[in-house]
Amino acid sequence: MTARLPPDDRPAAAVHRIRLRGFWASAPAADGRTRHARRFGAPRALDPDERLWVVWADVMAVADVAVNGRPLGTARPGESFAADVTADLLPRNELTVDGHFPAHPLDVALEVHSRRPG
């Protein structure tokens, strides 16, 4: 199950950060927004106490975020966005961001986190 949580509720320390720079495919969406898509492979086998999060620190416009076609939530300007995508992972994955901005989202990353003890 994916969960969109405020950044303060995410696990405390990232074990590994993967910036999603490089090639983003962009195309007009049917509703007038632009769909930015980035493919990525699943990270190495996660340990039982690790989770994979999609994080976006500098959201610049309202955008709907999905992974492998499953909606993760709506990102809003001036806020950070974070969603646990561990249960949604396939060997090959696609992250989509639909919004009104001309360039791909700049600061989107994958983060592997250990679960908070307790």
Domain 7-114 has CATH 2.40.110.10: no
In terms of Cα–Cα distance, which of 56, 40, 45, 57 is closest to 97? Answer: 56
Compute φ and ψ for 64, nearest 5 degrees.
-90, 130
Burial degree of 100 (CB within 10 A; 0-12, 13-18, 19+): exposed
pLDDT digits (tens, 9 = 90+) for 68-84: 999 999 999 989 999 99
| Cross-strand pairs, 66 | 71, 96
Q: Provide the whole-model pTM.
A: 0.82
Q: What is the pLDDT of residues 3-35, one digit of tens each?
A: 444 444 555 565 788 888 888 899 998 888 999
The DSSP H or E segment spanning 63 is strand 63-67
